[in-house]
Amino acid sequence: MSVAVVAAGLYLTWLMYVSRRVSAARVRRAFGPLPAALEERLYFDHVYQWAIDNAVLVLAKVTAWFDRAFINDIGVDGPAKGTRWTGAVARYLHTGLLYNYGLAMVIGAIVLSLLWLSLQAIGG
């Protein structure tokens, strides 16, 4: 079937442009809107460009935002920032002086005692 369509197309082309027995304008009118659609490649390029502009690029922007906001900033940079912050806090807590550690234990015991007492007052 496809060979017959190609053969008919080649014969029609020969009739129009080589022997000039058939007018190209007359053939164009006879086929109606089909020649215009074929010249535009059945509008495939328009549909393809619309899909790229309205689907692929929008999805790519959403994916890029998600990658930047969650994967890079939280997943990769989050632990690094947490480690850096912990080191900055620990720098001031680890002095090597025994009385500083003793004071921290006393303050911690007082805070825990107050917390326990307040929970007992609420619950009982």
Instruction: Note the pTM of the prediction, 2 decimals.
Output: 0.48
pLDDT tens profile 59-106: 999 999 999 999 998 988 999 999 999 999 988 888 888 998 999 999
**Cα 58 to Cα 65: distance, rounded to the nearest angstrom:** 11
pLDDT tens profile 101-121: 999 999 999 999 999 999 999
Say what the pLDDT of residue 68 is: 92
pLDDT tens profile 21-54: 999 888 889 989 998 898 888 899 999 999 999 9
Structure tokens, 90: 């620990």
Where are the domains positioned within the chain? 1-39, 40-80, 94-124
- Length of the chain, in residues: 124
Lookup result for tokens 């609420």: 122
